[in-house]
Structure 1
Amino acid sequence: MSSSVEQNETTIFVEPVKVHSSKVVTNDKEANHLLREAQANLEFSADTGYAPELKRNFSLISIMGLGMTISNAWLAVSASLIATIVAGGPMMIIYGTIIMFAFAICIAITLGELSSAYPNASGQIYWTMKLTPAKYNKFLSYATGWLAWSGSLFTSASVTVGASSAVVGMYMLYHPDKSVQTWHVFLTYELLNIAIMIFNVYEKPLPYLSKATLVCSISSFIIIIIVVLAMHRGEFETAKFVFVEFNNQTGWSSDAIAFLTAMMNVNWGFSCLDSATHLAEESLNPAVQIPQAIVATVVVGFLTSMPFAIAVFYCIRNLDAIYSSTTGAPIMDIFYQATESKAAAVGLEFLIFITLVGCNIGCHTWSARLAWSFSRDKGLPWSQFWSVVHPKTKTPVNAHIMNCFWVGVIGCLYMASTTAYTALIVSCITFVYISYLPSVIMFIIKRNQIKPGPFFLGKIGLVCNLVLVFWVLYSVIFYSFPFGMPVLAGNMNYSSAVLGIAIVLLILDWNFRAKKNYIGFLEREQMKELYTEY
């Protein structure tokens, strides 16, 4: 290691200590927090070779708030309502959610074990670097970073288009003579993307925002269920309609294939579970709190999505009218059918919109941490800009702004082709899932060789690890199937093409840039020695 690198690493490492020591401590609670933060930072640097640059102000509730608002299973039900009903009816969501919960809890336990053993803001990127063979870990961790980061961008874009559709839909409900145009959603999308960008610029309010969005999500869930049931006019739907009838309108001759491919729509509410792991360097006790937050996210998601789906389906009065609606917001049309009040329907849809905004803020937090932590190892082009933590805001502002720029670019694709845009959005699930594979496979192989963290479930954990690998393979295969039959240009699923393009791009970047510049495990081990000596 050259002396210039040593000097740079020492400077980065010492700076947080100076800031903390010069801070005026006003009470014992604050003093205890600073002491624990300093200790956590020292242990983190000695264990990983990274300099601590972020403030450790996220509590268990605020970490859970981030995970819950991004995954947000009940909100995902409202967003994917029509696509799932077309694939099998309400029972597709009811039983699909139960199945998805079983797999999601295994994914949560696996990610929890890994994050407990190796808490790092890079999440699966660092785990891959740490666990895979030395000959391959540099490229595999690099590829993992590209897929995870790209998946986070696609997720942010999907949430933004959902919030935009809600805004346009509320307007259209009061103007039934008009119809939704692509440019309506596109313009709203770009304006929202710019407006929401401000929330992730400053570090201090982020933990409070995370808690607030969690409270908003749970409160909206409760209010919507109470209102649609209390204000419902006429007869409720039958239990047979909600729990028994399977109505396959996809064109697939096999109901089993229709069901298996439609699980993608249910999967939305239990995806992106790694988001909490990227707050590991902003928690005082990440080895314990991160696993707790991930598992709690899945459990709360199941406990909210099931009653929400059942209540909403019982309130449907005319399913054909929902299919033919011109608002572009089918969940709001159900609210309108249930309450027979435009004001009530718009009010409930506004709760959906506010929850989506909170989800979008969380997606930006997650995506910014991924881009920043990946850039610390020079994973992205021009990493010297994206790896900077702003000295005043204490956040990776450059990485965040860069992410918002790409989300805006993805929005332009929506204007050009909604089919191509849909392919990108589908990829947000598969890209993130694939990014888990290298580290989880090696974790299975090395379970008896590594030092586990506080969260480790032994044989139960091993079963969960194997289930995750199965579910990732299943998702990559079946989520690439066409959405319906016969296959036409307008209903083709191009997500496999998106994956292919992404692989080509990352291989090109690897060979022309990252192969020489990317910091792998051996280089990090040398930096760890510097911190230990210091």
Structure 2
Amino acid sequence: MEKENQLHNIDSINSVSTGSRNNAANALKVAEADLKIAEAGYKPELRRNFTIWSLLGVGFGLTNSWFGISASLVTGISSGGPMSIVYGIIIIAVISTQIAISLSELSSIYNSAGGQYYWTFQLAPENYKRFWAYMCGSLAWAGSIFTSASVTMSIATAVVGMWVLTNGDSTFVVKQWHVFITYEILNVLLSVFNVYEKPLPHFSKAALYTSLGSFVIITITVLSCSSGNYQPASFVFSEFDNGTGWSSAGIAFIVGLINPNWSFSCLDCATHMAEEINNPDTLIPISICCTVAIGFVTSWFYSIAMFFSINNLDDILNSNTGVPILDIYYQALGNKGGAIFLECLVVLTAVGCNIASHTWQARLCWSFARDNGLPGSKYWSIVNEKTKMPVNAHFMSCFWCAVVGCIYMGSTTAYNSMVTSCIVFLLLSYAVPIICLLYRGRDNVPHGKFWLGKFGLVANIVTLCWTLFAVVFYSFPMTMPATKDNMNYVSVITVGFCAYCIIYWFARGRKVFTRFEDRQKEAEVLGTVLSAKITHLSAVASRSGANVDFEKKVE
């Protein structure tokens, strides 16, 4: 009876049979990719409608490095001036390349929407795999919530800032509730883009094109309008202005790296789309590596262009808009309408970033819930039959984004610490499977299509060293002397969240979190069903002239 139910589920959620009538070869690719998911013990419930371009749209659309620099510009400027961001981008890009290599290798081996927590489940020692997979998944999902909240807050701040500039009252003071109300409205409005499956790949591609187009338009416009009034090269590349209060210039520079690091975070995004694209073992590494490459080129040239175009840095730091990049546009163009137009392009880019972030956090929540990693998992693991999307997981994640936004009303310091925590949480979630990989031995695991041998080993070590470095130094106060109002509470949030996860694990998690044996039982039934279907489709493909040896792939 159980096997019959599994057969019914596969038939009802998979379009393989229909595809065999129309395009046997394509149907076989889908079935083969689904077989890998089934062999891991999961029902293939999501449609594979993403291409490399829509996948890159999600990956780069979320990371969106040049937008990240725009949104968090003031942090870097106060920690050493423009040069701290210009050189910080280079440093972070090099490190992000090592992270990208590490994630790409693992995603090429293990294709699952669970990403890093699933890799941990496969690689960790037998007695500890469930605990560390649970901890990894918890950190990853929490990191995605904080990231989505930070992106939405960036949009809200930009919208309020544009209103302030349009109003023209230099004495107007933006209140916290102005930004908070805007934030909560945006959180609700932008949630609708991840409800339906069919348009989502198109939204993702549009986010990619909008980001790149906006980058080109803004950069050319600002440079053209600033012609003849550029800052000297020393202002951009060599002058160090320590406005943090730290006596050590080195510490000031390090805490300023939070700005470019946030702009290169979330590199795991594409890995969680593994069940919505064909050939994930090839296309996901391409997407991750291209995200870093495009991010470096766009953010570095964008930053240099903006800094050369600054007329008065003090006016920007003391502006009442709360949006430094908007003030740079205004100084360069000399008129409010032009500055507002360019900032609207930034907001459109940020909307695409927010949609991608919602896609990412929903996949993390849904996949983690399949293994009972969250309270109420039976609700969050459901894929909506009408929209073919994990809608419950999506709205639950958006609810927590709304809750995090409420913290902003209570304390902007606490909120900013949570935003910084997204970097730390995600790095820790990457470190867990990498440590498990090195403990098992890189030569003792199957190698995927993306495998760099000794270079991969170096990337693993650099990623782990950087994680340790970031966890320590990103917990330092941004300014000195430190008070309760400007303290960095990242360490408190990290320790507090990990303590909660450990308590939940021993109270309930260890009883309900999926065991390896449970997944093996699921895999036997699902794998048998899909293997039979592939054999049937292979015969259809052979009759239709598709010269592909699918029988070999089934074996």
TM range (shorter): over 0.9
- 1:519 and 1:7 map into 2 onto residues whose CA distance is 22
TM-score normalised to structure 1 length: 0.96
Tell me the CA shift for residue 527 of structure 1. Answer: 2.2
Match of residue 526 from structure 1: 521
Residue 248 (structure 1) aligned with residue 245 (structure 2): no
1:511 Cα offset (Å): 1.8
Instruction: After TM superposition, give the deviation of residue 225 of structure 1 in Å.
Output: 0.6
Residue 37 (str. 1) matches residue 34 (str. 2): no
- Quote the Cα distance in structure 2 between the aligned partners of 1:372 and 1:168: 33
What residue in structure 2 maps to residue 284 of structure 1? 278
- Give, in whole Å, the separation in 1 of the partners of 2:444 and 2:404: 43
Contact persistence 1:233–1:340 (CA under 8 A): no
Report deviation, 1:80. Answer: 1.5
Q: Is the 8 A contact 2:81 2:240 kept in 1?
A: yes
Q: In structure 2, list runs of 5 or more residues that go unmatched.
A: 530-555
Q: Which moved more, 1:70-79 or 1:216-225?
A: 70-79
Task: Provide Cα deviations, 1:197-233, integer angstroms capped at 9, x if missing partner.
Answer: 1100001111111110000000000000111111226
Relative to structure 1, the CA distance from residue 523 to residue 24 in structure 2 (aligned partners, 3 Å threshold; closer, same or farther) is closer
Distance in 2, matches of 1:532 and 1:347, equals 54
CA contact (8 A) 1:121 1:281 kept: yes
The alpha-carbon distance between structure 1 residues 455 and 120, as it changes in their structure 2 partners (threshold 3 A), is same
Residues 1:431 and 2:425 aligned together: yes
Q: Structure 2 CA distance, aligned partners of 1:427 and 1:259?
A: 19
The equivalent of 2:478 in structure 1 is 483
Matched, 1:470 2:462: no
Alignment equivalent of 2:58, drawn from 57, 66, 81: 66
Q: Which residue of structure 2 aligns with residue 216 of structure 1? A: 210
Q: Distance in 1 between matches of 2:432 and 2:87?
A: 30
Structure 1: segments with no counterpart, 5+ residues? none
The 1:24–1:449 alpha-carbon spacing in structure 2 relative to 1, beyond 3 Å, is closer
1:407 — aligned with what? Answer: 401
Question: Given the alignment, which residue of 483, 497, 507 partners 2:502?
Answer: 507
> Does structure 1 residue 516 correspond to structure 2 residue 508?
no
1-structure distance, mates of 2:310, 2:322: 17
What SS does the aligned partner of 2:303 have? Answer: helix
What is the DSSP-based 3-state SS (H/G/I as helix, E as strand, rest coil) of the residue aligned with 1:276? helix
Query: Counterpart in 1 of 2:149?
Result: 157
1:376 to 362, 370, 375: 370
Q: Distance in 2 between matches of 1:226 and 1:393?
A: 41
Contact 1:130–1:521 (CA under 8 A) maintained in structure 2: no
TM-score (norm 2): 0.92
CA offset at residue 13 of structure 1?
A: 3.4
Give the conservation status (yes or no) of the 8 Å contact 1:87–1:259.
yes
| 1:373 Cα deviation from its structure 2 partner | 0.1
Number of residue pairs matched by the alignment: 526
Identity of aligned residues (%): 49
CA distance in 2, matches of 1:296, 1:110: 14
Contact between 2:20 and 2:27, CA under 8 Å: does it hold in 1? no
Residue in structure 1 matched with residue 219 of structure 2 by the alignment: 225
Q: Do residues 136 (structure 1) and 128 (structure 2) align?
A: yes
Aligned equivalent of 2:534: none
Q: Offset of 1:250 from its aligned partner?
A: 0.4
Equivalent position of 2:188 in the other structure? 194
Asked whether the 8 Å contact 2:16–2:28 carries over to 1, the reply is: no
The C-alpha deviation readout for 1:283-339, integer Å capped at 9, x for no partner, is 110000000000000000001011100100000000000011001111000000011
CA distance in 2: counterparts of 1:114 and 1:97, whole angstroms: 25
Offset, 1:489: 1.1
For 2:281 and 2:489, locate their aligned partners in 1 and report how far apart those are by CA, in whole Å: 38
- From 396, 410, 413, give the equivalent of 1:419: 413
Q: Distance in 2 between matches of 1:432 and 1:310?
A: 28
- 1:345-384 paired onto structure 2 within 5 Å: 345-384=339-378
Displacement after TM superposition at 1:32 (Å) = 3.7
Equivalent residue for 1:497? 492
Q: CA deviation at 1:512?
A: 2.0
RMSD: 1.5
Between the aligned partners of 1:24 and 1:287, the Cα distance in structure 2 is 23
Offset, 1:11: 4.3
Counterpart check, 1:452 vs 2:447: yes
Partners of 1:108 and 1:298 within 8 A in 2: yes
Residue pair 2:16, 2:30 contacting (<8 A) in 1 also: no
Output the amino acid matched with 2:12.
Answer: E
